[in-house]
Chain A
Amino acid sequence: MTENHPPRFAAWLLQQFGCSVDNDAVLGDLAERYREGKAPAWYWRQTLTAIVVSTFEDIQARKALALRAVLAGCIVQISIEVFITRYLPLVPYWVPLGWWGTGFESIVGAAIALLSGIAVGWTLVRLYQGRRAILFCYLLIVQVLGAVMIAITATDLAFYLIASVSLTLGILLGGLWIGGIRVTVAAGLRANTEIPWIRK
């Protein structure tokens, strides 16, 4: 590999989350310009702009489909939260009593948020024709609503942040899974693409 290879993680992000039908050409053009002497910061800025712009264009072109997917995602998330609210109080009875109050509840909360996020992300992308633009739209809505709820209810900020990060990760993982991350990795290897954690 040449030394002036574009930042790998940025390229991977664009490959996974870029929604333009010309995404491959965008990646190629960015690589070409980067090799002409552009800085990594330029590449990152271009990558993030490409993801944001293509997401916005994608959602704007499919508003009804996006609304349906977001509503379905909300239903899945609320259903899981209702179920958890009903059965979570039983968790202290299932684990040793000494574990409770030592941060264990944060781990349980994070795990539940992660799993719930995976289910929501999977649903969103499944209902949005396998396109990942909907993930960012949903995350934006969830984060804004979450911030409003925090301001109103004065929930424990640390616990909220842990749950929020876990939920975000889960949504992205669930969305990537339905889009076929393994397929993407295989295609990336065939197309001589650098993927951060896979060395050829």
Chain B
Amino acid sequence: MRKRLLTPASDLFILREHMANPNPVSNFELMVMLALIRLGDEAYGVPISKEIEEHSGHDVALGSVYAALERLRDRGFVTSSVGDPTPERGGRAKKYFNITGKGMKVVQETQQTLTRLWKGLPKLEGRKA
């Protein structure tokens, strides 16, 4: 069988789009951003981690959530604001996070890329991204 050296046209399209987007996000960062969109103005560490746990079925480390949020904030995908301290938190303030327009665009682009990649895979036929 002849070995194919060239990248297929569909892969080239995805590669071009990937290169055009210098800020790809990791799987976990994408989950955090989707949780932020779902939670709206009430997004801080606890509900974000619960949202991810609920949908992934796995325990989530709060330290990892904050590390992802810090990276996303550094890249301008997320903004943060400090709330009021509460007694049940040992007098510590909540930190609320919101997704920016830039972050929203990255989520939409990632969704489109994943949907295209999902299409035409016989092994995953019948499943959706």
A residues lining the B interface (CB < 8 Å): 6, 11, 18, 20-22, 24-33, 35, 45-46, 49-54, 57, 191-194
Question: B15 at interface (Cβ–Cβ under 8 A)?
Answer: no
Question: B91 at interface (Cβ–Cβ under 8 A)?
Answer: yes
Q: B96's closest neighbor in chain A, by CB?
A: A25
**How distant is the Cα of A17 from the Cα of B116 in the complex, in angstroms?**
44
Interface string of B30-72 (1 = CB under 8 A from A): 0000000000000011100100000000000111101101110
Q: Which 5 A/B pairs are nearest by Cβ-Cβ distance?
A: A50-B63, A28-B92, A29-B45, A28-B89, A25-B95
Question: B93 at interface (Cβ–Cβ under 8 A)?
Answer: yes
Q: A20's closest neighbor in chain B, by CB?
A: B66
In the complex, how many angstroms separate the beta carbon of A19 from the nearest chain B beta carbon? 10
In the complex, how many angstroms separate the beta carbon of A150 from the nearest chain B beta carbon? 32
The contact of A31 among B66, B80, B88, by CB within 8 Å, is B88
Question: B90 at interface (Cβ–Cβ under 8 A)?
Answer: yes
Q: Find out whether the CB atom of A24 lies under 8 angstroms from the CB atom of B63.
A: no
**How distant is the Cα of A54 from the Cα of B61 in the complex, in angstroms?**
12
Q: Find out whether the CB atom of B67 lies under 8 angstroms from the CB atom of A31.
A: no
**How distant is the Cα of A50 from the Cα of B70 in the complex, in angstroms?**
13
The contact of B88 among A27, A32, A45, by CB within 8 Å, is A32
Q: Find out whether the CB atom of B61 lies under 8 angstroms from the CB atom of A22.
A: no
Q: B48's closest neighbor in chain A, by CB?
A: A29
Q: Find out whether the CB atom of B46 lies under 8 angstroms from the CB atom of A20.
A: no
The contact size tier of chain B is 20 to 34
Q: B69's closest neighbor in chain A, by CB?
A: A22
Known contacts A25-B95, A191-B92; is A30 also within 8 Å of B62 by CB? yes
In the complex, how many angstroms separate the beta carbon of A163 from the nearest chain B beta carbon? 32
Query: Taking chain A's interface residues, is the majority helix, strand, or loop, or is none over half, making it mixed?
Result: helix
**How distant is the Cα of A67 from the Cα of B67 in the complex, in angstroms?**
22
Chain A residues with CB under 8 A of B66: 20, 22, 25-26, 50, 54
In the complex, how many angstroms separate the beta carbon of A164 from the nearest chain B beta carbon? 27
Known contacts A29-B45, A30-B62; is A191 also within 8 Å of B91 by CB? yes
The contact of B70 among A22, A24, A27, A28, by CB within 8 Å, is A22
Q: Find out whether the CB atom of A26 lies under 8 angstroms from the CB atom of B94.
A: no
Chain A residues with CB under 8 A of B63: 18, 20, 26, 46, 49-54
In the complex, how many angstroms separate the beta carbon of A80 from the nearest chain B beta carbon? 34
Q: Find out whether the CB atom of A192 lies under 8 angstroms from the CB atom of B91.
A: yes
Q: Find out whether the CB atom of A25 lies under 8 angstroms from the CB atom of B70.
A: no
Chain A residues with CB under 8 A of B90: 6, 11, 27-28, 31, 191-194
Q: A14's closest neighbor in chain B, by CB?
A: B63
Interface string of B70-93 (1 = CB under 8 A from A): 110000000010000110111111
In the complex, how many angstroms separate the beta carbon of B27 from the nearest chain A beta carbon? 16
Known contacts A26-B45, A49-B61, A54-B63; is A32 also within 8 Å of B89 by CB? yes
Q: A5's closest neighbor in chain B, by CB?
A: B90
**How distant is the Cα of A193 from the Cα of B92 in the complex, in angstroms?**
9
